[in-house]
Structure 1
Amino acid sequence: MSTDRLNVLKTYKLYVGGKFPRSESGRVYEVTDSKGNWLANAPRSSRKDARDAVVAARKAFGGWSGATAYNRGQVLYRVAEMLEGRRDQFTAEVAAAEGLSRAKAAAQVDAAVDRWVWYAGWSDKVAQVVGGANPVAGPYFNLSTPEPTGVVAVIAPAGSSLLGLVSVVAPVIVTGNTAVVVADESAPLPALSLAEVLATSDVPGGVVNVLSGSAAELGAPLAAHQDVNAVDLAGTAGDTGLATELEVAAADNLKRVLRPAPTADWSAAPGTGRMLAFLETKTVWHPTGGLGAAGSSY
């Protein structure tokens, strides 16, 4: 039997609302490895794709934010299980994207899986860190609890195609937010493959939506979108002009903005900062004298 055969090339697609559409514009662009060798064609998302992703994220927000923290943790842990099962694929993609040896790429993948598990473990604990009972001078209970901000647009970091990506996506969704993620334009393939993992795990469609293309083209409509509640500008760390432009667009409609760090070591211990960045605090007052009077909140 002849061993000659054609390679079956993979067609990468966007991930929006639990489905895998091509860009509505029909555009694609070439993705190359660190040496300039062609790897694949990735869809170049349009502003319409960005708006569709926001609609999907908003639709998914009620169910995801309303799920118990324990359930969200179990769902995220399932994603880590599936990432582990596709370790070899992600190792090859990270090695090509970042110009790493196979051993170093495998270490990046292992760190990304561990990072996902770490955030999954925080799902039912973060409320204990930032919530609690507040002492007040009066016959009242005063309780503060964290609640998700809403739809978060995430500009994925450049130069860390999987570990950096996981480090910005997992903290957004573990606390009940939904996300529209713009993958690193030069190395989008690990992000698009992560979308396949999300689609076949227990994460409801629309909780995470993954777009590939230009951050400059997609960031502006997301930052200005009235139904996006917050923006993570991690991927604009090397472009202060773009970061400022998106900050101004977000300020026009009072979005929360997580500004990019000048330098980011994605292998460092993550801490709780990114989880807390996209949480609101709800404070409830309730009389201590009985159940007859209704409490109030602000």
Structure 2
Amino acid sequence: MSEPMRLSVFKTYKLYVGGKFPRSESGRVYEVTDSKKGAWLANAPLSSRKDARDAVVAARKAFGGWSGATAYNRGQVLYRVAEMLEGRREQFAREVADAEGLSKSKAAGVVDAAIDRWVWYAGWTDKIAQVVGGANPVAGPYFNLSTPEPTGVVTVLAPQESSLLGLVSVVAPVIATGNTAVVIASERAPLPALSLGEVLATSDVPGGVVNVLSGRTAEIAAPLAAHQDVNGIDLTGADEVLAKELEAAAAENLKRVLRPQAVDFSADPGTRRLTAFLETKTVWHPTGSLGASGSAY
């Protein structure tokens, strides 16, 4: 007896905004093809300006709780994401192979590196304050203490070519330090980023901490660069012309801007991206007794 024929069940990729999976507000999609033969892979949502604004609202709503969590707790949450990524290695290896034209073994190596990179940033959550903060020597009877604080809502233009390792390398440090993110996936290869949204939804990351949009990078980035409730922007995925336009728009509300530059994402990332979207708060406090209470700092 012959086996019954089955209908193919194609995956429907969706945006990830506020912990949910909406289709684009416009209803638009665009074709995603593999990098070798140009074969159709899936239809990805073509995000609109309204989707971008919704993502900022979600990120702002999530910022208070995420930035207020302890650094240790954030580290545990990020490690949970790595656990979930590990459980879906085969799916991500397939998506990376299609996106970047790699063999199965090389794509698997990229996925392993991305998981390791996520674990690496998870370990930094409760250590970065010791690196960039501290007690400052002053001439007077005071303690002068500097501590890092997150900038706020950060727009991240993911790398165009490194669809997973590069993506993780730019997103993880933003949220590890207490910021929330609106991520614009690689325009040509958005599927690993959209799948990462599924991983985040099934981990312990609160909805809105990371929001993933797909579509035309320039079309989505323009309103985000000018948005008054976005506090920083990482231009890694922008070309030189687009980066200049977005940097000019970002100046309107003095956003922190991380300019694009050539990056080997397989190399040791250092702490540059961890400190890119941190502010330094400095507190003065008198030494000795404090008034009638007699308490001391």
User: TM-score normalised by the shorter chain: which range applies?
Assistant: over 0.9
Letter in structure 1 aligned against 2:270? G
- 1:14-50 Cα offsets, whole Å, 9 max, x none, are 0000000000000000000012000000000000000
> 1:220 is matched with which residue: 219, 222, 226?
222
- The 1-side partners of 2:210 and 2:32 are apart by 22
Query: What's the CA shift string for 1:246-297, capped at 9, x where partnerless?
Result: 0000012211100000x22111110000010000000011110224499xxx
1:247 alignment counterpart: 247
Distance in structure 1 (CA, Å) of the matches to 2:290 and 2:52: 47
1:186, CA displacement in angstroms? 0.5
| 1:252 aligned counterpart, secondary structure | helix
Q: Map of 1:78-227 to 2, 5 A cutoff?
A: 78-227=80-229
Q: Quote the residue 1:14 is aligned against.
A: 15
User: Secondary structure of the equivalent of 1:235?
Assistant: coil
In 2, Cα distance between the equivalents of 1:42 and 1:290?
63
CA distance in structure 1 between the partners assigned to 2:226 and 2:4 by the alignment: 54
Q: Does 1:23 align with 2:45?
A: no
- Amino acid corresponding to residue 140 of structure 2 in structure 1: G
2:267 paired with 1:268 = yes
**Matched residue, 2:283:** 284
- Report the AA paired with residue 285 of structure 1: W
- Aligned partners of 2:45, 2:177: CA distance in 1, in Å? 30
Question: CA 1:284/1:242 → structure 2, altered by over 3 Å: closer, same or farther?
Answer: same
Query: What TM-score do you get using the length of structure 2 for normalisation?
Result: 0.96
- The structure 1 residue matched to 2:39, chosen from 37, 40, 43, is 37
Q: Go from structure 1 to structure 2 and tell me whether the alpha carbon gap of 1:234 and 1:6 turns closer, same or farther (over 3 Å shift).
A: same
Equivalent residue pairs, number: 291
Q: Distance in 1 between matches of 2:32 and 2:249?
A: 29
C-alpha contact 1:180 1:211 (8 A) present in aligned 2: yes
Which residue identity lines up with residue 26 of structure 2 in the other structure? Answer: S
SS in 2 for 1:19: coil
1:220-245 deviation per Cα after TM superposition (whole angstroms, max 9, x unaligned): 10000000000000001xx2110100
Residues 287, 293 of structure 1: 8 Å contact kept: no
Structure 2: which amino acid aligns with 1:251?
Answer: A
Provide the residue aligned with 2:73 in structure 1. Answer: 71
CA–CA distance in structure 2, aligned partners of residues 137 and 241 of structure 1: 48
- 3-state SS, counterpart of residue 19 of structure 2: coil
Kindly report the root-mean-square deviation, in angstroms, between the aligned alpha carbons of the 2 structures.
Answer: 1.1
Partner AA of 2:103 in structure 1 = S
Q: Give the gaps of 5 or more residues in structure 1.
A: none
TM-score by length of 1: 0.96
Offset, 1:177: 0.1
Deviations 1:40-94, CA, capped at 9 Å, x for gaps: 0000000000000000000000000000000000000000000000000000000
Counterpart CA distance in 1 for 2:227 and 2:292 is 40
Q: 1:141 to 1:219 in 2, by over 3 A?
A: same
Aligned to 1:259: 259
CA contact (8 A) 1:233 1:258 kept: yes
Letter in 2 for 1:36: G
Deviation (angstroms), 1:3: 4.5
Distance 1:133 1:122 in 2: 20
**Partner Cα separation in structure 1 for residue 291 and residue 149 of structure 2:** 26
Q: Deviations over 1:167-205 (max 9, x none)?
A: 000000000000000000100000000000000000000
Q: CA–CA distance in 2 between the matches of 1:243 and 1:175?
A: 24
